[in-house]
C-alpha cells in the first residue's frame, strides 16, 4: 500500500517493490498516472484513486485492498505536499493543505488500515523529512507537519501494537 504513488518517491518505490516480488496498491488522486503505472507493472499492481484528505475515499480503498489483495501487510504513508513560503496569513490555505495531507492524511490512512496491518503483523512506513528536525527559511508549516509525522511514528513504534513502524 503506497500513498502518493503517482509520481516521485512513491512511483519509484512501487517499481522497486514490484521488482522485489511485492504486489502493490497504488493510491493517489491522479488516476491516469497510477493506472498507467499499474499497466506497466502488470498483475502485481492495483491502481485506486484515493484522496488522503477524504476518509470515505480511504475506507473505499481499504475495502478494495482487502478484497483484491487480501489486505495490506506494509503501509507506506508517502503522499505529501511541500508548499514553502515565508509564514503569513496569505498562505493559510497552503498551511491547512499541508496539515490535512501530510499529517492528518497519514494519520487517517493509518487508522483506517490498522486492522489489516495488525492481522498480518505488518509494517508501517512514514515518509517525512529532515525538515522536521531543522526548519530552513520558508519551511515553518511544512516542518511542523514533518516533525509531527516523525513523532507520531515513534510513539506508534513503541506502542504495544504488533505492527512495527
Ligand X SMILES: NC(=O)c1ccc[n+]([C@@H]2O[C@H](COP(=O)([O-])OP(=O)(O)OC[C@H]3O[C@@H](n4cnc5c(N)ncnc54)[C@H](OP(=O)(O)O)[C@@H]3O)[C@@H](O)[C@H]2O)c1
Q: What is the DSSP string of 112-129?
A: HHHHHHHHTT-EEEE---
Torsion sign over Cα 107, 163, 65, 46: positive
List the grid coordinates of 43. Answer: 498483475
First to last CA, the chain: 14
Shortest gap between Cβ of 105 and ligand X (angstroms)? 6
**Active-site residue identified among 142, 146, 147, 153:** 142
Among 24, 25, 26, 80, binds ligand X (CB under 6 A): 80
The total number of residues shown for the chain amounts to 165
Among 3, 110, 116, 143, binds ligand X (CB under 6 A): 3
**Under 8 Å between Cβ of 109 and 58:** yes
Among 18, 62, 101, 108, binds ligand X (CB under 6 A): 101
How many whole angstroms separate alpha carbon 59 and alpha carbon 54? 9
Concerning whether 22 is annotated as a catalytic residue, the answer is no
Which residues sit opposite 26 in a β-bridge?
2, 47
The three-class DSSP label of residue 46 is strand
Under the binding rule (CB under 6 A), the answer on residue 109 touching ligand X is no
Q: What is the x/- site pattern for ligand X, positions 30-59, by CB under 6 A?
A: x--x----------------xxxx------
Q: What is the x/- site pattern for ligand X, positions 126-165, by CB under 6 A?
A: -x-x------------------------------------
Under the binding rule (CB under 6 A), the answer on residue 82 touching ligand X is yes
Q: Would you name the residues annotated as active-site residues?
A: 142
Which positions touch ligand X (CB under 6 A)? 3-10, 28-30, 33, 50-53, 78-82, 101-102, 105, 127, 129
Amino acid at each position: 500500500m503506497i500513498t502518493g504513488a503517482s509520481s516521485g518517491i512513491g512511483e519509484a518505490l512501487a517499481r522497486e517493490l514490484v521488482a522485489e516480488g511485492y504486489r502493490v496498491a497504488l493510491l493517489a488522486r491522479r488516476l491516469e498516472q497510477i493506472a498507467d503505472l499499474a499497466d506497466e507493472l502488470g498483475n502485481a499492481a492495483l491502481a485506486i484513486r484515493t484522496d488522503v484528505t477524504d476518509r470515505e475515499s480511504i475506507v473505499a480503498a481499504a475495502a478494495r485492498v482487502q478484497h483484491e489483495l487480501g489486505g495490506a501487510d506494509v503501509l507506506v504513508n508517502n503522499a505529501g505536499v511541500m508548499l514553502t513560503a515565508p509564514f503569513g496569513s496569505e498562505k493559510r490555505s497552503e498551511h491547512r493543505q499541508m496539515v490535512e495531507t501530510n499529517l492528518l492524511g497519514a494519520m487517517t490512512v493509518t487508522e483506517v488500515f490498522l486492522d489489516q496491518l495488525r492481522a498480518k503483523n505488518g509494517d508501517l512506513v512514514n515518509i517525512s523529512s529532515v525538515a522536521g528536525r531543522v526548519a530552513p527559511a520558508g519551511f515553518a508549516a511544512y516542518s511542523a507537519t514533518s516533525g509531527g509525522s516523525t513523532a507520531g511514528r515513534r510513539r506508534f513504534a513503541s506502542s504495544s501494537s504488533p505492527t512495527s513502524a
